[in-house]
């Protein structure tokens, strides 16, 4: 099993849309620039750890073609979408801003993988492309900057007035924000990426029922569902994601059938 010690910058951006119209300090050009930097840093880090990148050219072409097909029906098809595939047993895929997608081969491993067939792989890719289009990474950075700045100013003012109670209260507010509100936003982002991604895959001609199959299988396997600590998780639990996707399915199926005509 490989251990991944990516730079903090990478970890900040590889997150998984509060809204495509949400306030954001960063431009779309910034997203592309930052994403390219993350992509490059990830390549360097993986190479240093001996992890092979894009070892199977046919596989890379296949996944890149799927990404291009989904990106073409996204809200920002003009972004420079690019895929890197790493030869590890990690069951995951991640998106950096601006269209860079990182996929680990464990995603479709026959024994331990999450995806069975192209439609399910497309569901994961569409979810990541939704993160890119909804600009979750830079929106999260914007929120963190605004709240952290406001609380820092409040704490400084309280300390300047020798108001220890107020200063401690501001410090406590920051802890609560980092521990609860930030994870709330992250879960909300995941739900939106699920919803937007399901519509993207349907528009691209992939069966949206595959997205539900993934989380149904994950929930049945134990996953992270039902834990009393779900409220502190940055991702919704598997069963909740499956239920939310089921509610979205009629609209997605209508789009899928319309495109199939």
* Other residues' Cβ atoms within 10 Å of the Cβ of residue 212: 23
Enumerate residues 6+ apart whose C-beta is below 8 A from 227: 233, 237
- Candidate list 128, 139, 192, 255, residue with the active-site label: 128
Cβ pair 217, 169 in contact under 8 A: no
The phi, psi pair for 86, rounded to 5°, reads: -110, 135
If phi > 0 it is left, if psi is from -120 to 50 it is alpha, else beta; for residue 236 that is beta
Does residue 216 have an active-site annotation?
A: no
β-bridge mates for residue 96, sequence order:
100
Cβ pair 43, 84 in contact under 8 A: yes
DSSP string, 98-160: TTEEEEEGGGG-TTT-S--SHHHHHHHHHHHHHHHHHTHHHHHHHHHHHHHHHHHHHHHHHHH
Which residues are catalytically annotated? 128
């Amino acid at each position: 099993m490989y251990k991944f010690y990516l730079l903090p910058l990478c970890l900040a951006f590889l997150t998984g849309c509060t809204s495509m119209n949400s306030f954001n300090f960063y431009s779309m050009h910034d997203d592309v620039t930052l994403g390219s930097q993350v992509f490059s840093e990830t390549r360097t880090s993986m190479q240093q750890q001996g992890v092979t990148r894009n070892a199977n050219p046919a596989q890379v072409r296949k996944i890149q073609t799927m990404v291009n097909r989904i990106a073409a029906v996204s809200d920002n098809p003009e972004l420079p979408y690019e895929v890197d595939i790493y030869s590890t047993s990690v069951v995951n895929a991640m998106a950096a801003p601006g269209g860079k997608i990182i996929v680990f081969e464990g995603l479709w491993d026959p024994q331990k993988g999450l995806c069975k067939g192209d439609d399910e792989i497309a569901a994961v890719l569409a979810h990541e492309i939704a993160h890119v289009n909804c600009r979750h990474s830079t929106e999260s950075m914007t929120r963190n900057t605004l709240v952290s700045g406001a609380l820092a100013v409040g704490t400084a003012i309280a300390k300047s007035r020798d108001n220890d109670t107020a200063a401690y209260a501001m410090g406590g507010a920051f802890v609560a924000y980092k521990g609860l509100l930030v994870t709330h936003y992250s879960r909300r982002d995941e739900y939106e990426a699920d919803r937007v991604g399901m519509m993207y895959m349907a528009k691209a001609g992939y069966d949206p029922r595959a997205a539900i199959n993934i989380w149904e299988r994950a929930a049945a396997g134990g996953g992270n569902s039902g834990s009393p600590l779900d409220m502190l998780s940055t991702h919704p639990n598997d069963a909740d994601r499956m239920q939310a996707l089921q509610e979205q399915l009629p609209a997605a199926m209508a789009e899928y059938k319309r495109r199939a005509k």
